[in-house]
Structure 1
Amino acid sequence: MTSLTTLYDRMIADGDLHPDPAQQAILPEFERIRAALDQPVRKGLFRRAPEPPKGLYLWGGVGRGKSMLMDLFVQSLGDIPARRVHFHAFMQEIHAAMHAARKTGVDDAIAPVAADVVANVRLLAFDEMQITDITDAMIVGRLFQALFAAGVVVVTTSNRIPDDLYKDGLNRDIFLPFIELIKDRMVVWELTSPTDYRQNRLGGTPVYFSPANAEARAAMAEVWTDLAGGPGEPLTLHVNGREVEIPEFRNGVARARFHDLCGRPLGAADYLALAKAARVLLLDNVPTLGRSNFNEAKRFVTLIDALYEARVRLVCSAAAQPEMLYLEGEGSFEFERTASRLREMQAEGWGG
């Protein structure tokens, strides 16, 4: 088992990281958890299992290295049963498992679902904890109580301080005990690095590739590898009782083809949900627009508006430059605003 500090120093020596005092300051907290989990769990008739260590709630601005540090930490755990998962995807799994449990006639669907999680891990590492859904808010407190009671350690990243989770949400008073639970069972730490590494990785490099040829595909693949840091998994967004699947998602970075998002009957609510879940969107194969694909063009305009208002970083490959995408047909005049936004979104430093 290799310590997190050793892995971090190795990446600096290899030129993959620059030393960052704010990141280095948090390493002992990760090491504290790793050392405690590395102790053998001895249970006997007169011997109680040791108290699990406090977890870690690591919050701060976008691009400060929170996800990178958590990935390194999980890598350092060796054979310790651990799972790293995006929080949104985890909650979707919980909803599906509870639905299946209810079909068996159980009175409390959370209990067997939590027991299944406990049976498989000693540590859960969540990326980007955020609560925007009332059903998540209703479930998460009881679920985490069960996990903590069973000795599962939780490490999570978030862009929000715990007190701002589910801020202004419906019936937020029922959620407040969960915030207190976080503060009691986890060390809350703000990563205050002044550097936005995600912006720096995009800084000075193109984010709009045209035409959408083999060279553009290679460039998009390179951006994905650099930002996401590994293979993505599908992400299912639950919007007004419907499911919207994003083909690839990792570390707050989403990737989809134009047809995935604009060739299907999606609307503003779907795109707003995507903008909440992702901080960067890679969009492949935007075609030329006009009479033949008028509905797709309208959806594309709505998608760009949602991304723009949420300050989501857009990287895309397209058949033509923004001003040449929509040259004829109804809506071409209105598209000038979208073309202008696409240009603005290419500027270095643009984004949340």
Structure 2
Amino acid sequence: MTTSEIQHRADFSEIRYAQCWEDSRLLVGGMLPAGRDCLSIGSAGENSFALLAAGAASVTAAEMNAAQIACIELRKASYLHLDHDGLLQLIGSRPCDDRQAIYGEIRNALPEEVRAFWDARPEAVAAGVGSAGKFERYFATFRSRVLPLAHGRKRVLSLLEPRDPGARLHFYQKEWNNRRWRWIFRIFFSRTVMGALGRDPEFFKYVEGSVADRILSRTRHALAVLDPSENPYLHWILTGTHGDALPDALEERNFPLIREAIAAGRFRIAPGSIEALLESEPDRRYGAFNLSDIFEYMSEDNTAALLGKITDASVPGARLAYWNMLAPRSRPASLAHRLRPIPADDLFGMDRAFFYSRFVVEEVME
């Protein structure tokens, strides 16, 4: 079986991401998933479920990390057996005094190996499973130990209040973007610190230039141009919960849509890499692909090879959507006759998850 390049280099024995940190609104706008069979990078599951809410005919979540699969399975069972408020409490989006009791309601609905995984992590359940990943612990350290060096709790909460565009820019320039903020940001979001505490250092193998400076530029866009009060990713980073700003997969209006789709058998989890999945099902075709930032971890040659395999597994008109964080990746010249770029700058301008430098959408030609 074919495996992904990163699978040989990075540690996949723990939860890396207890939430999805790519904005699903961009995926929906780029993939146009309604009525399509979608192949989606699994991660923690939210974006795959958001595609179901947007009307995907089916979603296959491909995931090679067993710990991430445990996150997806837990959410799947939660949609089927909890109410909306119970799901939010289990994730950590809402306060809860006894998450173990909520977990107990879905425990027997989990596959045996997933049940054993979460049974062995009662502290992760008690804290809210959305905080259980390495990336989320990285943000928790930033929130509790680093951010207070620049901004107190009162100012943080003030940043998250609704403002008109002019007032947002004024607040950012006069209240937020001080020298200490820029200093701590450049240190904490450097390649060295992020590699040690947040992401595996191998994820930066193909990255060039300053990691922190690029992210800081995008952070200004999220804080001063977009509305922080409506940004679930920013709320979690700064407060450790979502408040009233929820990712699409957790919004109340989408809860019954996702539950119905799962119950109807329109969702499946495929353990392993995308490469292995496509190889194991050579006759299956998809109409849309959520590729997360998978090419960030691949060489240009391996990126081109995987894009070719994906194109082979596509129906005409299929859409591919993915992010570049710091390593520029897109359709190579060798695939110009099979893939065409779709303008996505307007979508990228609405990106509430501010770690990425580019959003790429490509379409399989007839």
Range into which the TM-score falls when normalised by the shorter chain: under 0.3
- If each structure's strand is expressed as a fraction of its own residues, which one has the higher value? 1
Give the helix-richer structure, 1 or 2.
2
Name the TM-score, length of structure 2 as normaliser. 0.25
Larger Rg: 1
TM-score by length of structure 1 reads 0.25
